[in-house]
Chain A
Amino acid sequence: MVNLTVDLGGLRLKNPVLTASGTFGYGHEYADFMDLSALGGIIVKGTTAEPRQGNPYPRMAETPSGMLNAVGLQNKGVEHFATEIYPTLHGLGTEVIVNVSGSSVAAYCAAAERLADLGKIHAIELNISCPNVRQGGMAFGTDCTAAAEVVGAVRRVWPRHLMVKLSPNVTDIVAIARAAEDAGADSLSLINTLLGMAVDVERRRPALSTVTGGLSGPAVRPVAVRMVWQVAKAVKVPVVGLGGICSVRDALEFIMAGAMAVQIGTANFVNPRIAADIASGLADYCRRESLTSLDEIRGVV
């Protein structure tokens, strides 16, 4: 018998496959393609204390083996989530994790506090890649002190599982990971998008309205695998790996590099059933390799 369940620092998932924030909506968008209960969990859209319109169009450009996006956290705010979306998420048969963003410590805390009222949300994922308005727009996730401050503050108002999502746009990912762990993170997810840019040569203009944007997809995978490997060795809390995962093989790369679980992002756009296929594919892999659980290969490299 294969046992795919994972214990993510107290948060139990039926299997290690989650969907990445901003790529899977609220799950309903994919319900025609799969039984959502086949997933370990769904990480919903970035949610902020106040509603946000996001950035102007164009927000997307395809690049070699990847894409740039500049969605800019468009969402209707945490109150809308609590009253309109949350009631529709019951009975999906999978963990629903809310990705929380903000441009100040107070804004992160306000969103987390409101979510604390929602008993069926067992975990939040804190996206610390957002610009810190007070500190001149530098991302919380690129500075150990700022990262520790926001994680510590949310830790005090959020009573359940706290996953912290790290930005890859740093020179020393291990230092940020340790800062987040010390400040109270229960697990770490990485990576968020890599800062990138593309130029529309025909029009002599940036491809995105914001000039720069976040790179995702297979192009970032080697960077992500390297960072997961470095962080998994350095911290005690579980690590959730993501970045360009498109297949069972890709998911196994992250697990062998030390990830407890994985998230599927951009690949959902290419094959809307891929996350469920990877979950069942991991079970097939274990059977084929005569493994009783993925623990036998986790962190082997």
Chain B
Amino acid sequence: MRKQILTLTVESNTDAGDGMSVLTLSGPDCPAMLPGQFVEVEVPGAGVLLRRPISVFDSDTGRLSLLVRAAGRATDVLAHIQPGTALSVVGPLGRGFAMDGRRPLLVGGGVGLAPLYLLARRYSAQGVRPRLIAGFRTAPSQLLKDLYARYAEVTVCTDDGSEGIRGNVCAAPALQHIDADMVQVCGPLPMMKAVAGAARTAAVPCQVSLENKMACGLGACLCCVENTTTGNRCVCTDGPVFNINELTW
């Protein structure tokens, strides 16, 4: 898919709880992007130089949604951006998730849930309703639960036990006895490693989406490399999604 510099308009910014916001952007040139791909967003007024990589949360021709957690200078500005603002977005970037699971188990933690929404939606369109284990620090907003419940069977885990299973995603029964032909994960690194370990033990193929720090997002600068079984590879072009057997963990 051709990479483009798109100028998109913020249509809405909805609070999704726990410091997260759902941004909906639109622009006539915006192509439909794939689950697990990302865009590089230029953030005006944040006093930062480089664009920020953000996953595709939802996408159709002419429309792109992002799930953003305020985690620093640029994401603080993005999470509070006003409708009507124009944003420069480079994308679509990277290689996303495989879509060949027939009984996929999706696992997401916090803002790492972002790419799993479009993944679940695309699976549904193929007639597959995936299961999703969603980990949060504290009870998630109704908005997020409703969004994900449209396309997946959702199990919620919270660190503080305020909703669903107390503890991290590994406490979910579906991860203790994996009954799936594909596990697809995005979230904090320790969580992804734990889930990858469980999938490996159960001998089920597993894909993870990495969030290495990036400068260009285009495969030009070699800043984002991950050490793999075939040497250093760029997360921005060879990933961000990798099969765990390609990684050294």
Q: Mark A residues whose CB is within 8 Å of B.
A: 22-25, 29-30, 32-33, 45, 53-54, 56-62, 65-67, 69, 71, 74, 217-218, 266, 268-273
Evaluate whether A29 and B219 lie within 8 angstroms (CB atoms) in the complex, with A58-B213, A67-B49 already known: yes
Residues of B close to A67: CB separation below 8 A: 49-50, 215
Most B CB contacts (10 A, CB to CB) among A53, A266, A270 go to A270
Cα-based distance from A56 to B232 in the complex (angstroms): 9
Further 10 A-B residue pairs, CB within 8 A, beyond A33-B3, A33-B4, A65-B49:
A22-B222, A25-B220, A29-B220, A53-B231, A59-B223, A67-B50, A69-B223, A270-B51, A271-B5, A273-B5
Residues of A close to B222: CB separation below 8 A: 22, 45, 54, 59, 71, 74
A25 touching B49, Cβ below 8 Å: no
Among B11-54, those with CB < 8 Å from A are: 42, 48-51
Q: Mark B residues whose CB is within 8 Å of A.
A: 2-5, 42, 48-51, 88, 90, 212-227, 231-232
A269 touching B225, Cβ below 8 Å: no
- Specify which of A25, A30, A32 is in contact with B4 (CB 8 Å cutoff): A32
Cα-based distance from A56 to B51 in the complex (angstroms): 23
In the complex, what residue of chain B is closest to A56 when comparing beta carbons?
B227
Q: How far is the CB of B204 from chain A (nearest CB, A)?
A: 27
B227 touching A57, Cβ below 8 Å: yes
Q: How far is the CB of B111 from chain A (nearest CB, A)?
A: 18
Cα-based distance from A65 to B73 in the complex (angstroms): 13
B227 touching A71, Cβ below 8 Å: no
Cα-based distance from A59 to B221 in the complex (angstroms): 10
Residues of A close to B213: CB separation below 8 A: 58-61
Residues of B close to A65: CB separation below 8 A: 49
In the complex, what residue of chain B is closest to A19 when comparing beta carbons?
B220
Evaluate whether A60 and B221 lie within 8 angstroms (CB atoms) in the complex, with A33-B5, A69-B215, A269-B50 already known: yes
In the complex, what residue of chain A is closest to B47 when comparing beta carbons?
A64
The 10 A-B pairs at the shortest CB distance, nearest first, are namely: A60-B223, A25-B220, A29-B220, A32-B3, A269-B216, A59-B223, A29-B218, A71-B222, A269-B215, A74-B222
Q: How far is the CB of A200 from chain B (nearest CB, A)?
A: 11
Residues of B close to A271: CB separation below 8 A: 5, 88
Residues of B close to A24: CB separation below 8 A: 220
Residues of B close to A30: CB separation below 8 A: 218, 220
